[in-house]
Structures are given as structure tokens and as C-alpha cells.
Homo-oligomer: A and B are copies of this chain.
Amino acid sequence: MARPLADLTLDLASLRTTYASGVSPEAVLDEVFARIEECGDPGIFISLAEQDALRSAARALGGKSDGRPLWGVPFAVKDNIDVAGLETTCSCPGFAYRAAEDAVAVARLKAAGGIAVGKTNLDQFATGLVGLRTPYPVPRNAVDPALVPGGSSSGSAVAVARGLVAFALGTDTAGSGRVPAGLNNIVGLKPTLGAIPTKGVVPACKTIDCVSVFALSVDDAYAVFSAMAGFEQADPFSRAFRTAPLGPPPPRFRVGVPTPSTRSFGGDPAAEAAYEATLADVQALGGELVELDFEPFFAVAGLLYSGPFVAERYEALRRFIETSPDEIHPVTRLIIEGARRFDAGQAFGGLYELAAMKRALSIPLGLVDCLLVPTYPRPRTAAEVLEHPVGLNSEFGTYTNFVNLMDLCALAVPGRPRPDGLPAGVTLIAQAGADARIAVIGERLHEMGGTPLGALGLPAPAAPERAPRPAPDEIEIVVVG
């Protein structure tokens, strides 16, 4: 017997319509659990919430939406983010603990009416961009099961791409919220550093970690981001950024793109062609392309794993790695123990280098409204990555690693498709606080690209028509005297 909600797409607008028609959140939960079982991929979730408890929570929402932005919306949470009552494993069973409280981000989603259905797989300790560094089964890429799912937020990206939940939380320190979005044809929003509190998230690099959002559309991702954003006194890395409401895209804007000699596609002409097709879309949209030498951006990335910043990962796990080294995935351990070669002076030296690089890059960044890069040079199969676990992981991070260190925000969207149907995403990048600016451009590029939604065979969402509206604190002023 066909399930009554089997055809429901779990985007926010469809859910709202469904609820308005009288369907209950419990019925949607039943459908979610049916899909999770039906999809037959044991690698996506590490744990699921107890269904009876969730049904009680759903009943407690009341029969009809009270207008909260995420009323009755089922979502998944990467398993390095605390959900009260569930284990947080970071994909390392020996590290696991049962969370007593929700992370601030999760608590805010619940307060907005959302329902957390389970915890998703990841590259252990959020260290990796491939999705293979886990002792659990690897989530299957939603577009092509031969490909890696991408990481570190592998399960969250696949869960959204396969329509199991409306959205999912990831984290992003070096690309973990973007690479898997790109590899699964969905949207990945890496907000401005500190805009979403990270209290209750197991740190990777505490100074640059972000909670990220995977969704089917930019509109949804931005709504979820807005529900989580806001200053939190108890989180020392939280900042008082205000999320601006989305308006129409700017009529003209300047987009920094790598010079041809600083573009890299790992020798994949289809990846290159797809990127160039998206650049044509940008120009059609009013974007002026400004070629920038990307070597200095790539040099920033070198600090992250070859430089002392890896010591942030060590510091986050110091006690565990020193007492239970054998519990850690061998590749992950190799990377994190690399921190041992740096002394405290070198850590500060890395900060000085970063400060100098940021200052130097403020000049090219000041010339443009945003950057547009491929999300990754090219997709890779699991077989390829297993053969070159560190080298190809680094390749995936080419266009993502520098973003967090530079205090930039980013948005990965499906771009123009490749002829072979493999995923071909692009990422918009801008200064801290410019999340809204890249969102309105990104949703147009998503629509123009025409890539089907996730792995659902549905068309890319139309970018909503947006009326210009002033931000809440905008007033008109007249200068006198």
C-alpha cells in the first residue's frame, strides 16, 4: 500500500502546505522513519531518536502550526553536535557520551518548532572531506554510489539529498559543510564565523568552527540559518551578527574568480566546462567577472593542516588521544598527531602568518562583492580516495580550506550540470556578515543551473521573487546643515 505522504518533498514550503491541509507532524514523522528504513543505507545515521518520544514531541506541537518558522519540520544533526538524550560519537565509539543538553543551535531549532530525528555519520572528529574516515558504514553518495559522499558532514548531506529530512546540520571548519553539499547536489550554507553559537559542538578547530546547514534550496537553508543565528553570551566565539532578510539580487555585482592558471580541476574537463557554464550564468545575472590570482588563498589553506592550526584539533582531543590513541581512525590519528611537532611559539607564528595573509588578501577581496569558485576540483570515487587518502582529501579542500581561516562566509549550490551527470557544484564566498548577499545570488545560480534537487529527480527550485525590504534597523535619514 502506497504511503499517503510518499510523494511529499520535504522542503519548508511543501511542509507548510501539507500541514495547512490538516496533515499532522506525527504523520510526517511516520513518513520520515519509513523513508529512512526504505532507503536501505545504514551509513547515513549513527543513531535515531526514540520514535515514541518523537511522536510525543510532535503531538505536543498541537494539531496546527502556531506560525513558528520550523513548526513540525524534521531535521537531522551531525553526530558531533549534542542532542539531549542521544549519544554524541563524532564517529568514534570509544569517544561517545550521552549528551545531557542540546547544543545551542539545536535548542534554537527546537524552539522554532523543529524535530531532531537522528544523528548522522561523519568523517571522524570532523577531520576529512571525503566521508570515508568512519568506523561505521560509509553513507552512499546520493547521486552516484561509486563516488565518495564527501565529508566531513557525509550523513547529513546524503540524508537531505535523499529526501529523508527537510534539512540537516553539519559543521564546517575547512569545507565540511560545502564539499558534501556539492557532491550530493544540494545546498550547503557555511555562515559567518560566530553567527551561530558552537556551544554544544565538539570542537575541531575551535577558533574557526561553524555550524552549517544542508537543505534542498537556498531559501530553506537561509531560513534555518536565521532560526539559529544570534549572539550567545555563554559562547566566547559567538559574535553579534544580525541576519539580514533576503531581498532581490543586486542588478550588478563584481565576482572574483580564479585566473585560468590558478584554476584547478584535477584534469577533469567536464568539471571545468560545468564551472565555465556557471560563470556564463553569473554574467547573465549581472555579475562582472574579476580574475584574481588565487595562489595567496591556497597559501592560507597550507596553515590549516601543514601548519600549526592542526594543533587546535589536538587540543580538542588531547586527553582522549593521549589515553586512547588506538580508538582513533588511523588516518585521522596520523593527521591530528601531526600537531605534536609544533611548539607554542610556532602556534603564535601561525597566527602572525595568518594575520599577514588576511591583510594582504583584503586588497583583492575589496575589489569584489564575492568570490565564485568550484566547490571542489572534481568528484572522486571511493576507490580513488582509498588509494590516496590524504592527497585526494586535500584536493577536495582546494577551494574551501582558506574560507574559515579568512573569516569569510560561503554558500555551496549546485551549478550547471556536467554532461555525465556527476555532481558539479559552485561556491560563493564573501566577507563576514555578507551571508544574505551571497544567498540571493546563489539561489539564482541554483535555479539557472537547473540541476535536479538532490537525488530526488525533481527540478531545481525557482528562486523566489523578493521585494526589496529594509532591514529592521534601517531608517531613512536626511542630512541637514
A residues within 8 Å of B by Cβ?
Answer: 206-207, 233-237, 308, 311-312, 314-315, 318, 339-340, 342-352, 355-356, 358-359, 362-363, 475-481
Provide the bound-state CA to CA distance between A206 and B353, in Å: 11
Query: In the assembly, what is the distance between CA of A352 and CA of B209, in Å?
Result: 13
Please name all residues of chain B whose beta carbon is closer than 8 Å to the beta carbon of A311 when the two chains form the complex. 343-345, 347-348
Contact of A352 with B206 in the complex, beta carbons under 8 Å:
yes
Residue numbers in B under 8 Å from A206 (CB-CB): 348, 352
Q: A206-B352, A481-B476 in contact; A236/B344 too (CB < 8 A)? A: no
In whole angstroms, what is the CA distance A12 to B314 when docked? 54
Q: How far is the CA of A349 from the CA of B206 in the complex (A)?
A: 9
Contact A318 B345, beta carbon cutoff 8 Å? yes
The 10 closest A-B pairs by CB, nearest first: A311-B344, A347-B347, A315-B345, A342-B344, A236-B355, A344-B347, A236-B359, A314-B345, A311-B345, A236-B356
Chain B: CB-nearest residue to A362: B233
Given known A236-B358, A351-B207, A356-B236, contact A314–B344 (CB-CB < 8 A): yes
Count copies of this chain in the complex.
2
Q: Contacts of A355 on B, CB cut-off 8 Å?
A: 236-237
Q: Please report the C-alpha to C-alpha distance between residue A266 and residue B4 in the assembled complex, in whole angstroms.
A: 79
Who on chain B is nearest to A481 by CB?
B476
Given that A343-B340, A355-B236, A358-B236 are known contacts, is A348 also in contact with B480, CB under 8 Å in the complex?
Answer: no
Identity of the chain B residue whose Cβ is nearest the Cβ of A232 in the assembled complex: B359
Measured between beta carbons, the chain B residues less than 8 angstroms from A475 are 479, 481
**Cross-chain contact A480 with B479 (CB below 8 angstroms):** no
A481–B348 Cα gap in the complex (Å)? 51
Does B348 contact A346, Cβ atoms closer than 8 Å? Answer: no
Q: Which among A347, A356, A475 has the highest number of chain B CB atoms within 10 Å?
A: A347
Q: List the B side residues contacting A479 at CB < 8 Å.
A: 475-477
12 A–B contact pairs at CB < 8 A? A206-B348, A207-B351, A236-B352, A236-B355, A237-B355, A311-B348, A314-B345, A342-B343, A344-B347, A476-B480, A477-B479, A478-B480
What's the Cα separation between A374 and B94 when bound, in Å?
52
CA distance A225 to B284 in the complex (A): 51
Contact A348 B207 (CB under 8 A): yes
- In the complex, A344 Cα to B346 Cα: how many Å? 7
Give the chain B neighbours of A363 by CB distance below 8 A. Answer: 233
A13 to B478, CA, bound (A): 41
CA distance A346 to B342 in the complex (A): 10
Contacting residues, chain B, for A312 (C-beta < 8 A): 345, 348
Closest to A358 in B: B236
Residues of B within 8 A of A233 (CB): 359, 362-363
Q: Inside 8 A of A340's CB, which chain B residues have their CB?
A: 343
